[in-house]
Amino acid sequence: MFNLSLGEAHIIRHVLGTDEVMVVHHTDCGFSKAILEDIVRKEVGTSVGLSVDWVSFMPIGGPGGVRGSVEDDVEYLRMSPYDRKGMKITGWILPDSKGDR
């Protein structure tokens, strides 16, 4: 659909007029096993041309696993000042093993 290779999409930028946000995590995520904060601070900040020093990163996984991570992200977005009234925010978990799609 987006013509992306495995591992190429980590952030999808907000577009004005968006009325739905889908938080999508997948099981057996290699990205969650990487040193996430270092990668994001170095690569994402450079690619979007913004400083990400102000971001407080949360670990992926933890006691709640993938489900807990999705729930935390959805709640975070719902509490965000950018959540417009009526915006639909949902969370999804896709089963994934060894890059299967």
* pLDDT tier at 20, thresholds 50, 70, 90: confident
In a 13 Å sphere around the CA of 2, the CA atoms on its Cβ side amount to: 8
Answer with the residue of higher pLDDT: 64 or 22: 22
How far CA 85 is from CA of 19, 23, 60, in Å, comes to 9, 18, 28
Structural domain spans, the chain: 20-94
pLDDT tens digits along 34-44: 556 666 667 76
- In this structure, the chain runs to a length of 101
Burial label for 66, CB within 10 Å (0-12, 13-18, 19+), is buried
Answer with the residue of higher pLDDT: 71 or 82: 71
Q: Angle at the Cα of 92 (from 90 to 95), degrees rounded to 5?
A: 175
pTM: 0.54
Handedness of CA 90, 50, 36, 29 (dihedral sign): positive
**DSSP classification of residue 89:** E
